[in-house]
Amino acid sequence: MDISPKTSNDISFDDFKTQILSDYKIAVLSRTCSLMGRKEVLTGKAKFGIFGDGKELPQLAMARAFKDGDWRSGYYRDQTFMMALGLLTPKDLFHALYATTDIEKEPMSAGRQMGGHYVTYSLNEDGSWKDLTKQKNSSADISCTAGQMPRLLGLAQASKMYRNLKNIDASKFSKNGDEVAWGTIGNASTSEGMFLETINAAGVLQVPMVISIWDDDYGISVPAEYHATKEDISEMLAGFKRTDEKAGFEMLKVKGWDYTALMHAYENASDIAREEHVPVVIHVTELTQPQGHSSSGSHERYKSEERLNWEKENDCNKRFREWILETGITSEEELSTLEKNISRQVRLAKKEAWSEYLATHQPQRKKLIQLLDTAANKSQNKNFITKIKNDLIANEEPLKKDMAVAARKALRYLIGENNNEREALVQWTNNFLKDSQPKYSADLYNEGTMRATNIPIVKPLYAEKTEEVDGRIILRDNFEKLFENYPNALVFGEDTGAIGDVNQGLEGLQSKFGKLRIADTGIRETTIIGQGTGMALRGLRPIAEIQYLDYIFYALATLTDDVACLRYRTFGKQKVPLIVRTRGHRLEGIWHSGSPMGALIHSLRGMYILSPRNMTQAAGFYNTLMKSDEPAIIIESLNGYRLKERKPENLGEFCTPIGVVETVKSGTDITLVSYGSTLRIVEQAAQELKEVGIDAEVIDAQTLLPFDIHHDTVKSVEKTNRLLVIDEDVPGGCSAYILNEIVEKQGGYQYLDSQPQTLSAQAHRPAYGSDGDYFSKPNVEDVFEKVYAMIHETDPDSYPKLR
């Protein structure tokens, strides 16, 4: 289907008629899918439905302005847009509603996301990049309102980078930076801070972004008066409008039922953004939501009769139909025939999708019924198993869950029995669970050759007479090598550019590599991460700097909802090789010395979380990640930048392995595990313990996600028979996670002669000053006394009570 932007002014009447009828077909097709989709939820076949009814016309206009290489960053109302581009069929839509786990049948997420969440494929089967300039692209949707906005900023900024950076291979990603990033959002969600922060950042950066605001006057049940100042987002954003003297946004406002005005508005917006790299807001008003917000409720509960009548009369599809007839483009008879044919088409697609969804279940159901029958006939608990079998027979359309429950409950009645029938049921159950689980759990991390944990160690090399320098120098000079070796690498953040970051780990690099690659930003952590996310999706290698670890919580929603789960929720069809650089742990201030590692490791599964003890290890982690294509956070030790370290000769080349612990001191009496700044305290305590005859083994965890993939820590515990994990997180935080990894996952419990323990910081934020640090976080004396007490417990004669 030709979707090039055309208006009635530049094509013949026959072509114009063809375009209009093509658009009307898609509008009716999309609306019919919405109506039938809601019914599928009400019948119980689908669990939840959220649709794009009432927003069809502006999405058709957007689709006509959307070109190869462009990107969408939208939300769950955009089904008409995806259908107009040929990226979504009615059968795809119903498979998504049913959560079909076959990626060929449910191409958006293989059943992992709710319906209404869309994506295109950026990767070949081997994980390499496709040519994204030859396809229309959609980043993966998330449900969180306005969560798509930060990413949109980065998608748009990538075009600016590709247009202005030299010596960069853009062949698969951009054609002279001509691509536009198209965002969509509901009017109520513009109240979110993410939206406003993105608007401000885009205005500052001047990037080719077009944001469509679908305005139906409500946010679920809450009317516009509670969402926007003056009840009008256009008036609210008026100060962002560009002038002859100052850069800003181009602002357009158009009614959502006015087909020709919409076409002209979107053509205009596309030209402005594409050619001038100016961001555009299109405020689409007078839209409706005929079925209410979602299948979970009815809008009749909160809209007045007057409003409901207005929505019926001003439904964009209804007014489009009336306009087609008024202008004589076609007849009532032709439209009625078209509508009936579409209704049959959607009903058939729905029926076929449901049949295909069940098709893989039925052979398994039949086999399981057979196994239950034979097992029952050999069991003393025949009556109980037979009931389970009969319930499964009565369930003609079982879910995978129904079969798993039946098989596993039946096995309870076979405990203690030993026959071939039981063994056959056990084997079926094990195979069924083994085959089913990856459909829901695979692709959290890269499972291919570029997985970060596959990058081998390359040790730092040192000259015979190696100079010792501040740790920041090693970081700085290593970054310089990386930016030389990777022309698509860039770093940005607060104070990152001109002064080379607050600890001068990037000192002087802006003058060498330019303001685009070594860039300052405003104070806006969420969109710093958004910049990195969008640019990483488009083939760049961004390093997004969050000035202090304490500030990462401003961006945590974007990291957990978007970055960490992107590979998972796209079934491995997109990747986001973003590196987040930050600094934290022990300093002497309540807001600049946090170590909330437990919060991060539990929120950011899907990312690597790395906490190096010094700047050489940190530099090695950056080098490793640049060889991979996975997202990660590196937390540099705040109090380590001025500590002296030997400077390696092979900067930019040595690699710290991810997922591998390092034994920094051997010992025989107890295993001490720590990471980051605290490790230096543990090392000092270990030396002092040696003075009283206690020989501690000290292990640097280094990588918190994942922790110790080779299970080297348990080998130490097997030798020492005692375990203490020390960190400066709150009690029950990361130290508890590490303890669980060693004792439970690695099986360390079987080698322990005494209770495994943790030593962490106090539950409150660290108090200010040196004394505040001493009494808030573990110190050398705390570690010494904790270890001594553990040794005293098993050998009180040799180690009398200390205090």
- To 10 degrees, the CA torsion angle through 628, 633, 636, 637? -140
Distances, alpha carbon 19 to alpha carbons 22, 57, 117, 412, 738, in Å: 5, 13, 27, 63, 61
Distances, alpha carbon 283 to alpha carbons 224, 289, 356, 429, in Å: 14, 16, 40, 54
CA 736 to chain centre: 25
What's the angle, vertex CA 7, arms to CA 4 and CA 8, rounded to 5? 140
Give the strand pairing for 632-637 and 608-610: parallel
Please list, residue by residue across 26-35, b when 16 or more beta carbons sit within 10 angstroms of its beta carbon and e when fewer do: bbbbbbbbbe
| Residue of 481, 489, 518, 627 lying closest to 169 (CA atoms) | 489
For residue 758, list its beta bridge partners: 725
**Sign of torsion over alpha carbons 171, 172, 176, 177:** negative
**Sign of torsion over alpha carbons 253, 259, 262, 268:** negative
Give dist(CA 119, CA 401) in Å, integer.
Answer: 27
293 among known catalytic residues: no
Residues contacting 480, CB < 8 A, separation 6+: 509, 512, 651, 652
| Residue of 781, 639, 612, 629 lying closest to 703 (CA atoms) | 612
Give dist(CA 669, CA 798) in Å, integer.
Answer: 13
Q: Is 88 helix (H, G, I), strand (E, B) or coil?
A: coil
Identity of the residue numbered 654:
F
How many Cα neighbours within 13 Å face the side chain of 138?
27
Q: Is 6 helix (H, G, I), strand (E, B) or coil?
A: coil
| Residue of 138, 143, 135, 136 lying closest to 50 (CA atoms) | 143
User: Do 114 and 105 form a contact (C-beta atoms < 8 A)?
Assistant: no
Residues contacting 741, CB < 8 A, separation 6+: 707, 708, 713
| DSSP H or E stretch at residue 696 | strand 696-700
| Residue appearing with tokens 């201030």 | 589
Q: What is the DSSP letter of 281?
A: E
Give dist(CA 290, CA 309) in Å, integer.
Answer: 11
Residues contacting 54, CB < 8 A, separation 6+: 216, 287, 288, 289, 290, 311, 315, 316
Give dist(CA 85, CA 120) in Å, integer.
Answer: 11
Cα radius of gyration rounded to whole Å, the chain: 30
Distances, alpha carbon 738 to alpha carbons 534, 698, 714, in Å: 33, 14, 12
Give dist(CA 761, CA 138) in Å, integer.
Answer: 44
Give dist(CA 797, CA 693) in Å, integer.
Answer: 13
Instruction: Out of 117, 283, 592, 710, pick the active-site residue.
Output: 592
- Residue length of the chain: 803
| DSSP H or E stretch at residue 422 | helix 420-441
Give dist(CA 217, CA 212) in Å, integer.
Answer: 15
For the residues of 556-607, what is the DSSP string, one character each? HHHIIIIITTHHHHTTTS-----EEEEEESSSSSTTT----HHHHHHH-BTB
Cis peptide before 460 (omega within 30 of 0): no
Query: Which positions are annotated as active-site residues?
Result: 592
